[in-house]
């Protein structure tokens, strides 16, 4: 994985990696013509996984919510723990790791995500499937609380910070 991240960097690009907040990721709950991929999420291993991603040289980590949702996790608790693990990994390696959460707006992330370093109040929504899913993109710049309207259109928006 280090070689992949280095290759991506050699092209002048940033490298990202994917995981899930739950014990199982989207590939387990929504397999697409292949066997379900069990134990692909990071639950119970947040510190270990975020440190490994940082040591491999990744710049971004997207943490999905398929497992978190199916397993009944509390989004605020899980993502705050993941954010703390990202902060620890960054402190350990000296390499900034940017956290991007994806939980489709469940449990009102615009109310708690900004208070979870390394997040900022930048947000976007998109329609990656027929259903519009809200996403919060975070970076280690600011932790000011943000407000956001309860309903958002399926376009890029910026909350009030």
Check residue 33 and give its pLDDT: 78
Check residue 144 and give its pLDDT: 36
**120 near 160, Cβ under 8 Å?**
no
Check residue 106 and give its pLDDT: 82
Alpha-carbon span 46 to 39, nearest angstrom: 13
Question: Whose structure tokens read 């402190």?
Answer: 91
The mean-pLDDT minimum among 1-10, 37-46, 124-133 falls in 124-133
Check residue 88 and give its pLDDT: 96
**What is the band of 110 on the pLDDT scale with cuts at 50, 70, 90?**
confident
Alpha-carbon span 16 to 18, nearest angstrom: 7
For the chain, percent of residues with pLDDT exceeding 70: 70
Range 37-48 average pLDDT? 92
Residue 25 or 114, more confident:
25
**What is the band of 114 on the pLDDT scale with cuts at 50, 70, 90?**
low
Range 147-154 average pLDDT? 41
Residue 130 or 108, more confident:
108
Cα–Cα nearest to 92, from 60, 54, 121: 54
**19 near 39, Cβ under 8 Å?**
no
pTM, entire model? 0.71
């Amino acid at each position: 994985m280090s070689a992949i991240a280095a290759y991506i960097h050699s092209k002048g690009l940033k490298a990202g990696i994917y995981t899930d907040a739950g014990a199982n990721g989207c590939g387990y709950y929504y397999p697409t013509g292949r066997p379900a991929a069990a134990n692909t999420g990071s639950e119970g291993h947040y510190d270990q996984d975020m440190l490994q991603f940082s040591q491999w040289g990744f710049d971004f980590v997207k943490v999905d919510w398929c497992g978190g949702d199916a397993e009944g996790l509390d989004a605020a608790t899980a993502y705050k723990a993941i954010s703390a693990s990202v902060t620890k990994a960054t402190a350990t390696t000296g390499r900034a790791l940017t956290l991007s959460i994806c939980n489709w707006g469940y449990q009102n992330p615009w109310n708690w995500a900004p208070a979870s370093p390394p997040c900022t109040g930048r947000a976007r929504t998109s329609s990656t499937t027929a259903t519009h899913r809200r996403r919060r993109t975070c970076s280690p710049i600011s932790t000011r609380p943000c407000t956001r309207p309860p309903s958002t259109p399926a376009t890029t928006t910026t909350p009030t910070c």
